[in-house]
Amino acid sequence: MIQHVYERAGESSASRVVIATDDKRIETACRAFGAEVVMTSPDHVSGTDRLEEVARKLEFAPDDRVVNVQGDEPLIPPSLIDQVAANLKRFPDAAIATLCEKITDVASVFNPNVVKVVSDHLGMAHYFSRAPIPWARDTWTNGDWSLWTAAIPDEVDYYRHIGIYGYRVRLLTDFVRWAPAPTEMTESLEQLRALYNGARIHVEEARETPPAGVDTEADLERLRQWMETEARGV
């Protein structure tokens, strides 16, 4: 699976693709297909901390741009990697760039596993939350749950955050020095640490729909079946 992620990243415009891991088994498997691998500490509490260690070891410059792609995203479109990297270049005030997609079903608005994001007219994030944001006061004030779950109000759009991030290296350096933010701990969303400390996060609607990642054995089996079907040209 990691090889598929690596190959997808290699199809982007990235000048260098590196796999970061603290597992020797993963290192061995990745080197077998020719990947560059950086071994990291097993004590990191987040992927951002791991990424900072890699940037430091490889001596990246403070203004270099890096994109973090999870190892469980074997079908990640290379265009999304390019999109967040390009947005960091286009918006020099942004320390982080990420993506979103429009939510079309009200169940997702109320699902705490679907992270919502609200941004300004330039695409700079105001806040990320597991709660329904923005709150449609005129529709959802009477406590009638049947109304709350009936439909998305016409007057507002809701956006789901897509967990692909582009960073400036200087942000990574700052991030690992900052203490966890109260909002970050409450929502369990580490990007809120950056907002809490005044960093700007640019959010843009993804130009290509990202497929679901692989979180369970069932997801993995569906992926295998899909790839077998694609290989047969069915």
Per-residue model confidence as pLDDT tens digits over 45-66: 888 999 999 999 999 999 999 9
Per-residue model confidence as pLDDT tens digits over 168-198: 999 999 999 999 999 999 999 999 999 999 9
pTM higher than 0.75 for the full model? yes
Residue 108 has which token pair?
């997702």
* Cβ 51 vs Cβ 172: under 8 Å: yes
Measured CA to CA, the distance from residue 179 to residue 156 in angstroms comes to: 34
Say which amino acid occupies 63. Answer: D
Q: Residues 18-25: what's their mean pLDDT?
A: 96
CB burial of 159-174 (b: ≥16 within 10 Å; e: otherwise) equals: bbbbbbbbbbbbbbeb
pLDDT at 164 over 70: yes
Q: Residues 12-33: what's their mean pLDDT?
A: 96
- All residues at 6 or more sequence positions from 42 whose CB lies less than 8 Å from its CB, including other chains: 22
75 falls in which pLDDT band (50, 70, 90)?
confident
27 belongs to a structural domain: yes
Res 143: pLDDT: 59
Per-residue model confidence as pLDDT tens digits over 99-113: 999 999 988 998 898
Res 47: pLDDT: 86
219 falls in which pLDDT band (50, 70, 90)?
confident
pLDDT at 205 over 70: yes
Higher-confidence residue of 213 and 23: namely 23
72 belongs to a structural domain: yes
78 belongs to a structural domain: yes
Residue 84's domain spans which residues? 1-211
72 falls in which pLDDT band (50, 70, 90)?
confident
Res 233: pLDDT: 65
64 belongs to a structural domain: yes
Q: Residues 201-222: what's their mean pLDDT?
A: 83
State the DSSP string of the chain.
-HHHHHHHHHTSS-S--EEEES-HHHHHHHHHTT-EEEE--TT-SSHHHHHHHHHHHTT--TT-EEEE--TT-TT--HHHHHHHHHHHHH-TT-SEEEEEEE---HHHHH-TTS-EEEE-TTSBEEEEESS-SS--TTTSSS--HHHHTT---TT---EEEEEEEEEEHHHHHHHTTSPPPHHHHHHT-THHHHHHTT--EEEEE-SSPPPP---SHHHHHHHHHHHHHHHHT-
Q: What angle do CA 215, 96, 22 make, to 5 degrees?
A: 45
Res 145: pLDDT: 56
Average pLDDT of the residues of the chain: 90
pLDDT at 149 over 70: no
Say which amino acid occupies 159. Answer: Y
Measured CA to CA, the distance from residue 51 to residue 68 in angstroms comes to: 8
pLDDT at 84 over 90: yes
Res 147: pLDDT: 52
**Structural domains in the chain (count):** 1
Angle at which helix 24-32 crosses helix 2-10, to 10 degrees, equals 50
Q: Residues 119-139: what's their mean pLDDT?
A: 93
148 falls in which pLDDT band (50, 70, 90)?
low
225 belongs to a structural domain: no
CATH number, domain of 203, equals 3.90.550.10
227 belongs to a structural domain: no
232 belongs to a structural domain: no
Residue 53 has which token pair?
């260690």
219 belongs to a structural domain: no
